[in-house]
Each structure stands twice: as structure tokens, then as C-alpha cells.
Amino acid sequence: MTKLSVNVNKIATIRNARGGDVPSVVQVAKDCERFGAEGITIHPRPDERHITTKDVYDLEKVVTTEYNIEGYPDERFMKLVEETRPAQATLVPDGPDVLTSNAGWDTIKHKSQLTEICKQLSEWGVRSSIFVDTNPDNIKGAKEVGVDRIELYTGPFADNYEKDKDAAIKDYITAAELANQLGLGINAGHDLSLVNLAFFKNSIPNLEEVSIGHALIADALYYGLEVTIQKYLELLK
């Protein structure tokens, strides 16, 4: 079964709109796990517009499943990872001014940087994952930098799913088959939802984990958090 990691950034966004601690990011993370989620994902951006530095350390104390911290691997990010030692660090190429992750790494151009970072993560006992598109060269490059897993950026798939789902998934299947051949683990994330998740999961061989935040939290406004998580888990069976 593909694991579900819930991204709780949006919970922090709602909290920050009023200040204080309502809703509590820590409590929501604990409840997500209680309701069946197998991981908690956060993206602590430098401007702290959602997840704050304090959240990173507070969550480290309570997450009992897989703690996944994603972000651009600058000095601040690496310090957070070193001090909290999450199960996984997911490296994304976007800078602090980007609204949301919207592209994968050019693993050839950034080979030296990524190789050094993946080596450091390995020494800390943290599984490494990097955001990539379906370009075969970038997936081959991911293998060369020594990363443990790739996370397929599924934005283009989600954008084109309702137009032609078979065309939308084609390059992802090819990318996943290549990753399997290279011995890379496969994660996926960005705009996966109750509408498109089952088709994506059933099409991708050996999909280990999906990270879902925006759609899941939006669905929870209608169904409630527990029911929503169960709906997503059912699609991943």
C-alpha cells in the first residue's frame, strides 16, 4: 500500500491568519496520525508564512510516523534537518519568493550541490528525496547524486487529468519505470486529490508515498478530517 503523508502547511496558514494557536498544528498532526495517516509533511519557508521554525521542533517531539521536512536546501533548512533528524528530507528547487513548489530539479546542472547534500543527509541517517519532473535525464541524474528517492512533481498531471488522463499519465509511467530500473524509490506530490489520486496510484509501479496537503485540507472542510483521511487511504489501497 502506498503511504499517505499529510502536509499540514495549510493548517499553519489558517492559524497564522489570526495569531495564537488555533488551529493547533501539533494537534492536527497528532490527529492525522490517529486517523490513519502514515506520515506528516511540512515545508518551513524562510518567511514563516505557514510553518514556523518553532513548529518544526514542536512536531519533531510528537510525530510518531514518518516526519518529512521539505524545502530548498539552504543553510537554515539544513540546520533544521540536522537538529530534528526527520525520517525524510525532500529537497525542492524553489527559492523563498515562490508561492508553492512548481518545478523539479535540474539534477545535471545542480549535480555537485545535490551530491554533497545527499551525502550529508545519509550521514545524519535521514532518507533523501528530491523533487523531479518526468525528464529521463533528470531521473538518471538523481541516481548519480546518490539520492534515496525521487518525488515526482505531479502538477502537470493534475492540470491535464480531466482533459485526457491517459495522455496526462503517460510520461509519469515512463519515468517511474526508469526509476524502478535505477533502484530509486518513488514518491509523488502536488495537486493530487480525491479526483485523480486512484488513477495515478494504480498507474505508477511501486509508488511508495504521496504527500498531499492543499486538496486534503480543503476536502476536510466538507467531510471532516477523519473521514477525509479515510477516503484518501481507501484510494491508496
214 in active site = no
Quick one: which of 107, 34, 117, 33 has its CA closest to 81?
A: 117
- Given 33, 50, 66, 70, the catalytic residue: 70
Q: Which ranges constitute the DSSP H helices of the chain?
A: 9-18, 25-34, 53-62, 75-84, 111-123, 136-145, 155-160, 165-182, 197-203, 214-223, 225-236
d(CA 105, CA 28): 31
Residue 146 in contact with residue 119, Cβ under 8 Å?
Answer: yes
- Given 50, 66, 190, 209, the catalytic residue: 190
- Given 33, 43, 66, 110, the catalytic residue: 43
50 in active site = no
d(CA 12, CA 39): 17
Active site residues: 43, 70, 190
